[in-house]
Amino acid sequence: MFSYRHAFHAGNHADVLKHTVLLATLDYLKQKDVALTLIDTHAGNGIYRLDGDFAQTSNESASGIQQLIATATNAQEALDPTVARYLDMVRQFNDELSSRTKRLVYPGSPALLQHSMRSQDQLHLFELQPADMRALQGNMEQGPYANHTHVWHEESFKGSLRFLPPPSRRGLVLCDPSYELKTDYQQVSQWLSEALRKFATGTYLIWYPVIPRPEAHELPRKLKAIARQAGRGWLHTTLAIKSGGKPGVQLPGEKVERTGMVASGMVVINPPYILREQLQKALPELVRALGQDHLAAHTLESAEAP
């Protein structure tokens, strides 16, 4: 139950997609002065060392945020504004923290939310893994608006629902479980149905891995169906950095070589109306920066509320 540690995957291509979409969505919602309730259902540490033992074990950030930074540094033209916003936040975090810690760090969703929130907003973070929860508490206590940031050591699919609807009737919820358990897929669908029943106008961002598992294939279809049944609009995007299969001919009896997760997706319920246009420009840039073969690609689809 507590085996998953996001520190092994921090800053990978999935984080690049997730956090690019997250910041673009939050920036839009902040255009109104009314308070926002921000919720992260599977928070992790909040801040990760990319030069630490966990991150170095898999080195996934090398083909994610570090590759994106290198590409942006050598770019001849200005970056797409949506991608630039995300990169500026990561760089700002390192300018602020690395001067004290002398470490290369990556801000996870809790840190990005906390550093982007305003004095009128509230942030609720859920984390079950005991060590990660303690690290999360320490990291959030050092950030801005610490007195508006609440860390909960409890199961988030039920716990997060008690904050819906928020007093201001404005909120953003990020749901990104590890999906190590097959039951996570069903729980996400059930959770979204209940969340929309309680707070139909909230903005929900659901991340999922694009992997050869039936549950992963079915999840975005189910989430879109739930949104339609609730009369809400949705946006669905994926980012793949390479082919998921081993090149060449597989010989009989040959052991299949695992390539790891090479693609992930985001489903946004009640997305900002400008998000599709932003991603139409940002996603090709991410493919060019992170793509490792000719099968690197993105998808983008959306539907307005009926």
Nearest CA to 289 out of 6, 55, 16 is that of: 16
> Which CATH number goes with the domain that contains 218?
3.40.50.150
Catalytic one among 15, 121, 176, 184? 176
40 annotated as ligand-binding: no
Q: Domain residues for 188?
A: 6-303
- Is 203 domain-assigned? yes
Rounded Cα gap, residues 231 and 201, in angstroms? 10
CB neighbour class for 49 (10 Å; exposed up to 12, middle 13-18, buried from 19): middle
Average pLDDT over residues 286-299: 96
Binned at pLDDT 50, 70 and 90, residue 2 comes out as very low
Residue 15 annotated in active site: no
- Is 132 domain-assigned? yes
Domain count, the chain: 1
**Predicted TM-score (pTM) of this structure:** 0.91
- Is 149 domain-assigned? yes
CB neighbour class for 249 (10 Å; exposed up to 12, middle 13-18, buried from 19): exposed
pLDDT at 47: 93
19 annotated as ligand-binding: yes
Per-residue pLDDT tens over the stretch 133-181: 999 999 999 999 999 999 999 999 999 999 999 999 999 999 999 998 8
Rounded Cα gap, residues 214 and 63, in angstroms? 26
- Is 1 domain-assigned? no
